[in-house]
Amino acid sequence: MEENGQKSNKILIAVMVLVITLILALSGVVGLALFGNTLGVHLFEQQETTSPETEPVTTERITTAPVTTEPRWKVPDVVGMHANNAYTALHHAGTRFEIKREYSAEVAAEYVISQTPEPGTIIRDSEKVQLIISKGVDRKDDKSSSSRKPKATEPTTKTSSSNDYILKDSDKRYVSFNEVRALSKKEKTLALNEIYARHGRKFDSSELQSYFNSKSWYKGTIAPSDFKESSLNQYESANVQTILSAM
């Protein structure tokens, strides 16, 4: 009887130990589930990685519409000029133009009677200068007007001599393309360089230097390397381009 009682006690103790062990084990599992993240322990080796939320970085270039300013031009004075010279002057000034022809008893045919807007006005690139070109006298109304003198005369082109120029007054007026085109190749070269010679420029070419030395008006004092294009006035600068175009 005593042996049976001892055996029963051992079994009871074993069962109690097993129960306590299971309770402790379950307590551990519950504790890890509740506090594992706080303690840095992850169940079943399942790690949840998180990264801080960040705004996406864009590398797209931000472009802005370019600010465009319409070019503006100063209107030159072409009243009284021959039509060809007026066209050249307006071309070099950067302005566009329209023409209208009218009869005139005061202004010779092919000369500018009037212009709109007035000289010195600043206009936009999209605007145009309006020119009134004379058609001469209306013969139906006035046949006696042929004896009248024109208001302006077409500048004449002279060939070189001891004291004159290829293109007279090319420092005071716009030379027309047609006027230059009528010159020979040699005359074009001389006409171009006499613009510089007026300002006392010397020349590397012995032929040019000899030619201008023969002119009474020429005073060569500036070496070619020291000469500045900025010394040319508006007429001379424009005429240089016209002559180069014709050449």
Supply the pLDDT for residue 73: 85
User: What domain range is 199 assigned to?
Assistant: 177-246
Domain presence at residue 155: no
Domain presence at residue 131: yes
Q: What tens digit of pLDDT does each residue of 86-123 get? A: 888 888 888 888 888 899 888 888 889 999 998 989 99
Burial label for 68, CB within 10 Å (0-12, 13-18, 19+), is exposed
**Gap between the Cα atoms of 152 and 110, Å rounded:** 10
Could you tell me if 124 and 189 lie in one domain? no
What the block records as the tokens of 154 is: 């077409």
What is the tally of structural domains in the chain?
2
Domain presence at residue 232: yes
Q: Is the pTM of this model over 0.95?
A: no
Other CB atoms within 10 A of residue 220 CB: 15
Burial label for 210, CB within 10 Å (0-12, 13-18, 19+), is exposed
Residue type, position 25, single letter: A
Is residue 215 over pLDDT 60?
Answer: yes
